[in-house]
Amino acid sequence: MVLAQLGGSISRALQQMSNATMIDEKVLNDCLNDITRALLQSDVQFKLVGDMQTNIKKIVNFDDLAAGHNKRKIIQQAIFNELCKILDPGKPAFTLKKGETSVVMFVGLQGSGKTTTCTKYAHYHQKKGWKPALVCADTFRAGAFDQLKQNATKAKIPFYGRPNGLRGNFITDFVMIDQELVYTESDPVRIAVEGVERFKKENCDLIIVDTSGRHKQEAALFEEMCQVSEATKPDLVIFVMDSSIGQAAFDQAQAFKQSVAVGAVIVTKMDGHAKGGGALSAVAATKSPVIFIGTGELTDEFEVFDVKPFVSRLLG
Ligand code: GDP
């Protein structure tokens, strides 16, 4: 179910409840069942939806509610609050300070939109007067450096990296994995450290490190991520997640969180056929806030994510 449909289903459920002549436990249950169904179809994790339903039933206790209480309002408010609660981990992301050097490391699976999002994030801050720089520590995917270079050049952001497989002047060995040319001997940790050091010297205040993804969660990916993290000591690790990955969102986000200190989430591809539920699951799994969403392939198709307006929109 795409985000707009999810919003439509939830507001329809609320409307049906509002139309009922009398609000009793059955009407509330019907409404909650409809909302539950809509959230599950949007890939919100099963447990989150179950917890939400239990909490709302606790808040809206018909025995305690005196006659004359506006039950509709109380139920609507409870649903709003519970949805906000899923999206609000209770602590904001680490606040970067303009003028002071911060290192931000991006992690996520290959294809999630990580490299694109690095440039979007840099561009967003550049427009606000920061001095960002991009480091390509993705030596796994052939073409990653060229992509970052192309994006960075277009957005006029300094970048650092090496074409895949080039170490000094030597082309290293390569293998074919999933029909992709993958070079085996490039050293992402070294490249990351070199890039960060260079841009610190150049007084950049936002040094963004793009790391390798893999097609799926695997030990080699997490090991490399940990090494880059230990070597560059990022102030913030951002987990980038494709909003269309479905029910896998929770487990995927949790696996990343268990390997590196994820402090914020960016959900990409919220345009088109995006499902909204993944965002809710990623927050719950990482206990980190969604800070931006990607809404297209272009550099400025990028929005700050605010919980309350997002949920208000969802409820219609
Ligand atoms: P990476 O492998 O994680 O670095 O992913 P890329 O940055 O190469 O992105 C994979 C594909 O997703 C590319 O075709 C991007 O243009 C596209 N993409 C990234 N973010 C968005 C987004 O917010 N919306 C849409 N529609 N496409 C996106």
Q: In angstroms, how far is the first alpha carbon of the chain from the final one? A: 16
Task: Tell me which of 116, 135, 268 to substitute to probe ligand 1's pocket, judged by most ligand atoms within 8 Å of the beta carbon.
Answer: 116
Structure confidence at residue 17 (pLDDT) = 85
Q: Which residue is closest in CA terms to ligand 1's atom 27? A: 297
Q: What is the DSSP letter of 147?
A: H
Q: Which residue is closest in CA terms to ligand 1's atom 28? A: 297
Greatest distance between any 2 Cα atoms in the chain: 81
User: 297 CA distance to ligand 1 centroid (A)?
Assistant: 6
Give the phi and the psi of residue 99 in degrees, each rounded to 5. Answer: 95, -20
Query: Burial level of 265, CB count in 10 A (0-12/13-18/19+)?
Result: buried
Q: Which residues contact 108 (CB under 8 A, 6 or more apart)?
A: 114, 213, 239, 240, 241, 256
Q: CA 36 to CA 257: how far, in whole Å?
A: 27
User: 268 CA distance to ligand 1 centroid (A)?
Assistant: 7
- The DSSP H or E segment spanning 100 is none
Query: Residue 114 CA: which ligand 1 atom is closest?
Result: 3
Structure confidence at residue 93 (pLDDT) = 83
User: 39 CA distance to ligand 1 centroid (A)?
Assistant: 25
Structure confidence at residue 170 (pLDDT) = 45
Helix (H, G, I), strand (E, B) or coil at 290: strand
Q: What is the pLDDT along the chain (316 residues), one digit of tens a residue?
A: 556 667 678 888 888 888 888 888 899 999 999 999 988 887 788 888 899 999 999 888 877 776 667 888 888 899 899 989 888 888 888 889 999 999 999 999 989 999 999 999 999 999 999 999 999 998 887 788 889 999 999 999 999 988 764 444 444 545 454 555 555 446 889 899 999 999 999 999 999 999 988 776 678 888 999 999 999 999 999 999 998 887 788 888 999 999 999 999 999 998 866 556 677 788 888 889 999 999 999 999 999 998 888 788 777 6
Q: CA 131 to CA 143: how far, in whole Å?
A: 25
Angle at 154 between CA 149 and CA 160, to 5 degrees: 30
Q: Which residue is closest in CA terms to ligand 1's atom 26? A: 296
pTM given for the model:
0.85
Task: Tell me which of 297, 299, 303 to substitute to probe ligand 1's pocket, judged by most ligand atoms within 8 Å of the beta carbon.
Answer: 297
User: 67 CA distance to ligand 1 centroid (A)?
Assistant: 53
User: 111 CA distance to ligand 1 centroid (A)?
Assistant: 6
User: 115 CA distance to ligand 1 centroid (A)?
Assistant: 7
Query: Residue 112 CA: which ligand 1 atom is closest?
Result: 3
User: 54 CA distance to ligand 1 centroid (A)?
Assistant: 37
Which residues does ligand 1 sit against, CB inside 6 Å? 108, 110-116, 147, 213, 268-269, 271-272, 294-297
Instruction: Write the ipTM.
Output: 0.99
Q: CA 122 to CA 62: how far, in whole Å?
A: 51
